[in-house]
Amino acid sequence: MASLRCRRDPCGVICLVLTYFSVFYADYVVVQYVLIPTFSDSMWCTLHGSVFNLILLLLLACHSKAVFSDPGMVPLPDTAIDFSDLRSQSSRMNERGCEGWTVCNRCETYRPPRAHHCRVCQRCIRRMDHHCPWINNCVGELNQKYFIQFLFYTGMASLYSLVLVVSAWVWRIRTEGDGDAEKEGEESPSKHLIVAHYIILLVESVLFGVFVMVIFYDQLISIITDETPIEQMRNRLMIKDRGSSSTSGSSSSSSQLPHHAAHTRKPKLALLREVFGRGSVFCWLLPLHSSPPSVGGISYAALPDYDV
Ligand SMILES: [Zn+2]
Ligand SMILES: [Zn+2]
């Protein structure tokens, strides 16, 4: 199975372990060293603890959906396809409404438009965005929603823990300044240990927070512009090629551009709905399965039969 092969990627496994460790460490420090000592005698302890853990729960739910969901693997044919007469095959496919389909030499199969081969997964993925080691899976047409939700909740958790740690630290400095030694308690852990945990969590929150926000922004831009990073690079190369070849001849300008031009005419909301589903914006934040709407043009959700 290609999905199992993908999970054996050492870099992906390390990143998965690091993700789970970071989440549980953040929860441990927030509860043990931030909330309990700071808000022990008020409702804020329960409130902040519940909200923070709810965010982490949603983060882990979205993460596991992104890890274990099929990103949109192009199925392999049951029998070997004869590629010897590729031209007549592709013209036959165009007649059947399969325009833009290409051949993957590695998978030895036909693939729909916008599908690309992933070297780690060793399979073609529909509307492949990139292979992400943090989910040890490809980000493609069917799991991009969960990946973006994971980024969103990681950003929220980072920001929340940042605010909680800074508040707890300020509170600690103030109480120490007032000479309120009773609050320290004889069973409380040493001051140095607490400060060490605070600093580690602050660094973790800033690093992960900035990192996921940058990727989150890139993901939204790629959806709104209807162009995956792979397509962006390919289009840039094509424009460069056309620029260099324009001196010799400029007849094949529009036919050289891929199907991308047709996608960019779609409204931004329709493009977002293709990824997040038809439900309300509130549902976009939940890791629930939703079938993408079949808007005009080529629908990738329903693959044509592979009886070529
Ligand atoms: Zn392939
Ligand atoms: Zn992959």
| pLDDT tens per residue across span 103-118 | 898 888 888 888 999 9
Q: Report the number of distinct structural domains present in the chain.
A: 1
Spacing, Cα 76 to ligand 1 middle (Å): 9
Measured in Å, how far apart are the chain's first and last C-alpha atoms?
23
133 falls within a domain: no
Quick one: which ligand is closest to 67's CA?
2
254 falls within a domain: no
User: Is the per-residue pLDDT at 292 higher than 80?
Assistant: no
pLDDT at 251: 45
CB 224 within 8 A of CB 266: no
Residue ranges making up the domain that contains 177: 2-72+142-181+188-238+259-284
53 falls within a domain: yes
Neighbours of ion ligand 2 (CB under 5 A): 118, 120-121, 131, 138
pLDDT at 176: 78
- DSSP-derived 3-state class of residue 123: strand
39 falls within a domain: yes
User: Is the per-residue pLDDT at 269 higher than 60?
Assistant: yes
Q: Is 253 exposed, middle or buried (0-12, 13-18, 19+ CB in 10 A)?
A: exposed
CB 205 within 8 A of CB 162: yes
Catalytic-labelled residue, pool 118, 121, 124, 132: 132
User: Is the per-residue pLDDT at 70 higher than 50?
Assistant: yes
Judge if pTM exceeds 0.85: no
User: Is the per-residue pLDDT at 182 higher than 90?
Assistant: no
305 falls within a domain: no
Instruction: Round to whole Å and give the CA distance between 157 and 55.
Output: 6
Q: What is the mean pLDDT of residues 84-90?
A: 60
51 falls within a domain: yes
Spacing, Cα 115 to ligand 1 middle (Å): 8
Spacing, Cα 219 to ligand 1 middle (Å): 23
Quick one: which ligand is closest to 119's CA?
2
Q: What is the mean pLDDT of residues 170-176?
A: 85
Quick one: which ligand is closest to 111's CA?
1
108 falls within a domain: no
pLDDT at 254: 41
- DSSP-derived 3-state class of residue 238: helix
Q: Active-site residue 124, yes or no?
A: no
Spacing, Cα 234 to ligand 2 middle (Å): 18
Quick one: which ligand is closest to 137's CA?
2
Spacing, Cα 118 to ligand 1 middle (Å): 7
Spacing, Cα 121 to ligand 1 middle (Å): 9
Instruction: Round to whole Å and give the CA distance between 31 and 37.
Output: 9
231 falls within a domain: yes
